[in-house]
Amino acid sequence: MQSMSVSFDQLPGLSVTVDQLVYQPHLSAPPERPHPFAYYLSIHNKSDETVTIVGRKWIVTDNTGETLVVEGDGVVGQTPRLEPGQSFSYNSFHVIRDTSTANGTFFGSTDSGQPVYVRVPEFSMELTE
């Protein structure tokens, strides 16, 4: 039996911007990760293809080297469909133990079925004294 692998391509014109990052100490967080940071992102489709985002993967690494990987379907419970020229903006949060960096990837497909991905620019969540 042959294994099938899906090859995702980077689609020119599909991009992500980190619009805002805000430390939110008033939000509920577990004791082992007591520092919540809200992030605001936008996915921009400046390609000629309609794209549906179906999943995401985040890698959060703190300054001690501990890494947390978060994968899942959709984006904040949605599978946004972006026609050429459209954007999708949302916010969510990471809870961290110490100063950390986050980067991620969104996965999707074009209306013609081509699997595509777009990277989230790395951002830092800095704890200040």
Question: At 45, which CATH number?
Answer: 2.60.40.1470
- The verdict on residue 93 lying in a domain is yes
Do you know the residue count of the chain? 129
- The verdict on residue 63 lying in a domain is yes
- The verdict on residue 3 lying in a domain is no
Q: What is the pLDDT of residue 3?
A: 47
- The verdict on residue 2 lying in a domain is no
Please state whether the predicted TM-score (pTM) of the whole model is above 0.85.
yes
The domain in which residue 76 lies consists of 11-123
- The verdict on residue 41 lying in a domain is yes
Q: Give the C-alpha distances (Å, rounded to integers) separating 43 from 50, 65, 109.
A: 13, 28, 14
- Residue 129 binned pLDDT confidence (cut-offs 50, 70, 90): low
- The verdict on residue 129 lying in a domain is no
Q: What is the pLDDT of residues 50-66, one digit of tens each?
A: 999 999 999 999 999 99
- The verdict on residue 17 lying in a domain is yes
- The verdict on residue 19 lying in a domain is yes
Q: What is the pLDDT of residues 69-115, one digit of tens each?
A: 999 999 999 999 999 999 999 999 999 999 999 999 999 999 999 99
